[in-house]
Structure formats: C-alpha cells, structure tokens
C-alpha cells in the first residue's frame, strides 16, 4: 500500500463527517406539522445532550427535541450546577413524537444502539460524572415495561460485550437547558468535539435505520 493510499483511507471518514456536517445545518429543524393531540413524550439521558438531541432531531416522526436536566431533586438548576455533579441531575433530552409515525420502542432502539453507549457507567466517551449517566425516564407503566423488554432483548442478543447499566426511573421533573444548548450540533457542526463525538452518531443512524432517518 502506497503512502498516498494510506492517507486517502485515513481522510475518507473525516470527509464523510464534514459532508454530513454541511447537511445537518439545513435539516436540523423539523418542518412537518404534527397534530398536537397526537404527540407523546420520551425522556432519555445518554451523556452530553448535544449529540443525543441531534440524533433524535433526525428521526422521522419526531416533532421536537429539547436538551435539559432531569433526575435530581433541586427545583431550579443550570448548566454550571449540573456540571458540578452535585445536584443529582443528568443531561437529558425530551422528545415529542407522533406514535403513528415512530413508536416508543423504535425510539428506544435508536437510543440504545445509536445515540450512546449504554454500557458506560456514569460517563459517556470523554465526559465523566453522574450527570452523564445513561438513563430512561418513563412517563407511565407502558414505557417502563417496553424499556425493560428492549434491555432484555439486547442482552439476549449479546449486542454488547459488557452489561447495560442504564438507569430506569419515573419522570418527575424536566428543566429545559439554556438556549445556547438547543440545536447545538446544527449550529456548530464543525466544532472538534462535535466532529469527533457526535457526527458519527448521525452517520450510524443513517446506516442502521435508513427508514427512520430524515
């Protein structure tokens, strides 16, 4: 293999990500109208909310996604206090979706297999601390049961070599994060953190779930 061939092979993945970065700016905000009475809510935590939010913004049937904080007891928190790891909150996303177009179970599949690594305990990639934990916050018993079933199926299929450590807890309070965190990936597609950690998630979504990707 020549030196030029090696260089091309190394550059191709990054070129793909930069092309994807150019695309997500235009595709970031859903344009299709959804009947408001049809929408349901899902809340997931899977590390830094920038990448998780971006993944679900590109899922068909999702009407809106917000980055925020949940899982703690304090009534009012912000990025600085949550980042300290002392509030009990996790960076999370609240997803409003139309179950006629995408099911809660499908969202779970995307969450576990694309949006993050559910085998990492109190961390996700370069981000360490309980505020980056893996968690599903369910709204009702149906969501709780479906989450347990999906986790069991992933375990039986030996999808991961390590056990899933995702926390399962009832949704009690969700606080929307500061405005500058919303739609972060689409607004900063060439930021090095985004290119390394989050754009690959969108590429995985496109490859693994082409029927859901928009």
Q: Which residues are catalytic?
A: 48
| CA dihedral for 55, 99, 152, 173, sign (positive or negative) | positive
Q: Which residues, in sequence order, are bridge partners of residue 127?
A: 124
C-beta neighbour count of 179 within 10 angstroms: 8
């Amino acid at each position: 293999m020549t030196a030029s061939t090696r260089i091309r092979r190394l550059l191709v993945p990054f070129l793909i990500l930069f092309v994807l970065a150019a695309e997500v700016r235009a595709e970031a905000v859903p344009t299709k109208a959804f009947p408001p009475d049809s929408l349901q809510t899902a809340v997931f935590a899977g590390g830094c909310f920038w990448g998780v939010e971006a993944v679900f913004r590109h899922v068909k049937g999702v009407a809106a996604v917000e980055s925020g904080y949940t899982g703690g007891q304090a009534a009012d928190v912000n990025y600085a206090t949550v980042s300290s790891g002392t509030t009990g909150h996790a960076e999370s996303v609240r997803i409003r979706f139309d179950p006629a177009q995408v099911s809660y179970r499908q969202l779970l599949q995307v969450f576990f297999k694309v949006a993050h690594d559910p085998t990492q305990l109190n961390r996700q990639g370069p981000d360490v601390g309980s505020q980056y934990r893996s968690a599903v916050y369910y709204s009702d018993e149906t969501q709780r049961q479906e989450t347990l079933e999906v986790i069991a199926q992933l375990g039986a299929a030996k999808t991961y070599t390590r056990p899933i450590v995702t926390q399962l807890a009832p949704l009690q309070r969700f606080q929307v994060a500061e405005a500058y965190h919303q739609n972060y990936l689409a607004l900063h597609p060439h930021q090095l953190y985004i290119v390394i950690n989050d754009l690959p998630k969108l590429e995985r979504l496109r490859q693994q779930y082409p029927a859901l990707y928009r």
